[in-house]
Amino acid sequence: MSFDASFSLNQGADFGATGGQIGPAAAGGGINLGGVSAIASLGSSVFGAIGAYRAGKAARKYSKKQAKQAERAGRMNASTIAINRRKLAGQQRAAFAASGVVATSGSPLDLMIDNYILGLIEESRALTDATYRAENIAMQGAVAQRAGVFSATQQLTVGLYTAEQRGLFSIKDNPVVQTGQTLLGALRN
């Protein structure tokens, strides 16, 4: 498919009076450059909006994966803390037995119970921290997705406004817009 983009210009033509039209368009036929640029601008806005929406969606998907990894890392950390807690209890029992201290009552038992409880608290804190971190990451993804939707909406709005300003179509004559304006006017009163 070939496209001939050559234009013939008359010598001494007044380009200000043609309204942005060149060659045969100035005489009532041909290509209106204002319409072409409006269509190009609108197309650019549509593709930009699609890109912004997809970027937001991808950010949300990525953050969900990151949140799962944060939870998994927190569970692994808590598991390590639990293993260390059990090791410490075993080491304490062995140390008490080697020194001849009975670890089933009195201060040695209190010490082992205190260390066990502190280990449980640390394990619980690690799990809670991981949960908060994962929720924060997931929320950041949701915000990024909303930002993508807002950006897409903004790009479409600017594209439609630009296309209307360049004369591609008129929003004022649109029955949907007129109905919306009528409803808004009724709501204001």
Write out the residue range of the structural domain in which residue 138 sits. Answer: 34-165
pLDDT of residue 19: 47
Least confident segment among 10-14, 92-96, 160-164, 172-176: 10-14
Q: Is there a domain that residue 185 lies in?
A: no
For the residues 164-176, what does the mean pLDDT come to?
72
Q: Is there a domain that residue 16 lies in?
A: no
Q: Which amino acid is at 30?
A: G
pTM above threshold 0.85: no
Residue 148 burial (CB < 10 Å; 0-12/13-18/19+)? Answer: buried
Residue 144 burial (CB < 10 Å; 0-12/13-18/19+)? Answer: middle
Give the bridge partners for 18, in sequence order: none
Q: Is there a domain that residue 66 lies in?
A: yes
Q: Is there a domain that residue 182 lies in?
A: no
What's the pLDDT band for 174 if we cut at 50, 70, 90? low
Looking at every residue in the chain, the average pLDDT score rounds to 78
DSSP characters over 56-103: HHHHHHHHHHHHHHHHHHHHHHHHHHHHHHHHHHHHHHHHHHHTT--T
Express each pLDDT in 132-153 by its tens digit: 999 999 999 999 999 999 998 8
How many domains in the chain? 1
Tokens 């190009």 sit on residue: 40
Q: Is there a domain that residue 155 lies in?
A: yes
High-pLDDT (> 70) share of the chain, %: 71
Residue 15 has pLDDT above 70, yes or no: no
Q: Is there a domain that residue 107 lies in?
A: yes
Question: Taking the alpha carbons of 41, 46, 49, 54 in that order, is the dihedral positive or negative?
Answer: negative
Q: Is the model more confident about 4 or about 49?
A: 49
Q: Is there a domain that residue 10 lies in?
A: no
Q: Is there a domain that residue 38 lies in?
A: yes
| Cβ-based neighbours of 5, under 8 Å, separated by 6 or more | none
